[in-house]
Chain A
């Protein structure tokens, strides 16, 4: 009996230790990989980089950004409507229905647009990237690149990274527009608000600082999604089933980290006093 207890105590300690070491390892690997990817970005840029890399980056922009357009816009429309609806239910009690506009505009520019884009793209692209990289590893394509004397980071990671860095902020802006439009949709139906009146209200409550905040956050989310997805793919270990596990791990981790990073960024800007209500 005592040996079983001891064995159990040992194995649970062992498990905690192993997972801590794995986290530390992953953070180290992510840092190195991010650093390598940043150094390879110039090779992907048009004009100064290689022409073929830029073509790759454009293909990635289509895969990561353009094909996520319908999903992100529909999600933002729905969420914008929900925020307006929920807000109106409360604000009506205080006779402040016009504040619904501020609620939607501030909610989207400051927080929801970047977050919803981050989560949507994380679900679509982190898994796609992990699956692609894992498959390349299993089919020895990565080895082929290395044996040819070509850098796998430059070939496979840098175009995705650049593609995400360009398209995800664009998606966040689109999401903001959809959310705000959806708010108008609600108010037009519920209190027959004029579009011009709504636009004037929007322009009054929108702040350039908040838009910057969204852009900065979406750049951070883009980095997390691509880097975490790529690393999860690299962790696939040779047999085909490991690609499936890597794909799941990629989505779970990148979504988790997107939300943690959102908290970190929001509290940072709050503490710096950049997001005090204007």
Chain B
């Protein structure tokens, strides 16, 4: 298991030496990570591990203090805004809260990027919208508004909108958060389906272990701002690193409540690896 183990294709997202701190608190410490073409990489981490912050860096919503992030070879930490827009148009994102536009119906939500960013005719757009909704299984709900949808349907609608522009890279933030296990499993299947049928490169940020093992080609694990391991599922399951075992076996980090013992333990741990 290496720190930036290479996957199958050439790397599409390359994170190099990214560090972020809020005030005096370091949130990310020199993260190095590659996401390769055509793979599903799951970024696994507990609450407060810095995974959402890393996601925001990759999407260009925040700039790192140090380090660079290349998407399709463009360094988004220091490119022009025109270049950033060009990069973002090949990137689809489904946020944790689905982030559908409340004043638009599901089909209008999916059509929105097509209307705004392309010059396609309305008839073409409505056909494309239908195809995307078909892919996520939401054709029946096309005319409903976000407030009329269940949690799982909202996520599906957000995914349909994320793939509306046929992006090369798809990013999911906590796809299974707040969903029951059956709906979550359905979403996992959808993610794998998208990778298989559309050949997209997919980055999933989550804390849900089962879902990570169901969908991942490779898993990267973040802990307190450090990327502690990158590898395949089998490597993960066979791992003997104490923190990974703890995460896999769902043991609580109860010592953290008793003062600095846990952080001392962690520092020791960081020295070892």
Contact = CB atoms under 8 A, between A and B. Distances in A.
Contact of A139 (B88, B89, B99): B99
A138 B97 CA distance: 9
- Bin chain B's interface residue count: 20 to 34
Interface in A125-165: 138-141, 143-144, 146-150
Interface residues of A, number: 12
A147 B117 contact: no
B88 A149 contact: yes
B115 interface: yes
A140 B117 contact: no
A15 interface: no
B99 A140 contact: yes
Contacts of A146: 60-61, 88
B88 A147 contact: yes
A155 B93 CA distance: 19
B62 to A, nearest CB: 10
Contacts of A144: 93, 95, 99, 101
A22 interface: no
A52 interface: yes
B69 interface: no
Nearest to B59: A147
Contact of A149 (B97, B100, B101, B117): B117
Interface in B89-138: 89, 91, 93, 95-102, 112-113, 115-117
Interface in B150-207: none
Contacts of B93: 143-144, 147
Nearest to B113: A148
Given A148-B88, A149-B88, A149-B89, A143 B116 contact: no
A11 B193 CA distance: 58
B248 interface: no
Contacts of B113: 148, 150
B85 interface: yes
Contacts of A150: 113, 116-117
A52 B125 CA distance: 15
A195 to B, nearest CB: 45
Contacts of A148: 88-89, 112-113, 116-117
Contacts of B98: 139
Nearest to A50: B116
Interface string A84-107: 000000000000000000000000
Q: Which of B100, B102, B116 has the most CB of A within 10 A?
A: B116
Nearest to B89: A149
Given A52-B115, A150-B116, A143 B85 contact: no
Q: Which of B59, B95, B98, B99 has the most CB of A within 10 A?
A: B99
Contacts of B100: 141
Nearest to B112: A148
B61 A139 contact: no
A140 B158 CA distance: 12
B97 A139 contact: yes
A52 to B, nearest CB: 7
A72 to B, nearest CB: 25
A143 B88 contact: no
Contact of A140 (B89, B97, B112): B97
A149 B85 contact: yes
A143 B95 contact: yes
A141 to B, nearest CB: 5
A158 B97 CA distance: 25
A205 B3 CA distance: 82
A122 B56 CA distance: 35
Interface of B: 56, 59-61, 84-86, 88-89, 91, 93, 95-102, 112-113, 115-117
Sorted nearest first, the 5 A-B pairs with minimum C-beta distance are: A149-B85, A140-B99, A140-B95, A149-B88, A144-B99
24 contacts: A52-B115, A52-B116, A138-B97, A140-B95, A140-B97, A141-B100, A143-B59, A143-B93, A143-B99, A144-B93, A144-B95, A144-B99, A146-B88, A147-B59, A147-B60, A148-B88, A148-B113, A148-B116, A149-B84, A149-B85, A149-B86, A149-B88, A150-B116, A150-B117
